[in-house]
Amino acid sequence: MSDVVDPCGGCYYSVLGISKQATDCEIRGAYRKMALKWHPDRWTREPKLATEAKRRFQQIQEAYSVLSNKGKRTIYDAGLFGFIGDDDDEEGFVDFMQELILMTQTESPQGIVRNTHWRILRD
């Protein structure tokens, strides 16, 4: 699991109930399952839970929007997602950060990718 926390207080991977190694298909499936479970329209008859359902549904949507986008997911996994804003130039920044992260990764002789530069900066 990622130790990066979303603004709502939980890890995006745990919000969807998936591992950090989840495939695109697994992410999409988990999103659909959780979105159906917590969709606010399903909780209208229980006002006490309607607010909680709305909050969870928003978390699920945010987690999916990040994890289903390759660029955003790379930045999220690197622990830099907090730097992304909601402005019009978001995609350009995501592309830039993704390229920067890929440039800093090194591959060991065993084929394990290590992100040594960001680990040093985060510690």
Q: Show the 3-state SS of 39-89.
A: CHHHHCCCHHHHHHHHHHHHHHHHHHHHHCCHHHHHHHHCCCHHHCCCCCC
What are the tens digits of pLDDT across the range 94-116?
677 667 667 766 555 555 555 54
Rounded to two decimals, the pTM is 0.65
Sign of CA dihedral 99, 103, 105, 109: positive
Phi-psi region of 6 (alpha: psi -120 to 50; beta: other; left: phi over 0): beta
What are the tens digits of pLDDT across the range 35-87?
999 999 998 888 889 999 999 999 999 999 999 998 889 888 888 776 555 55
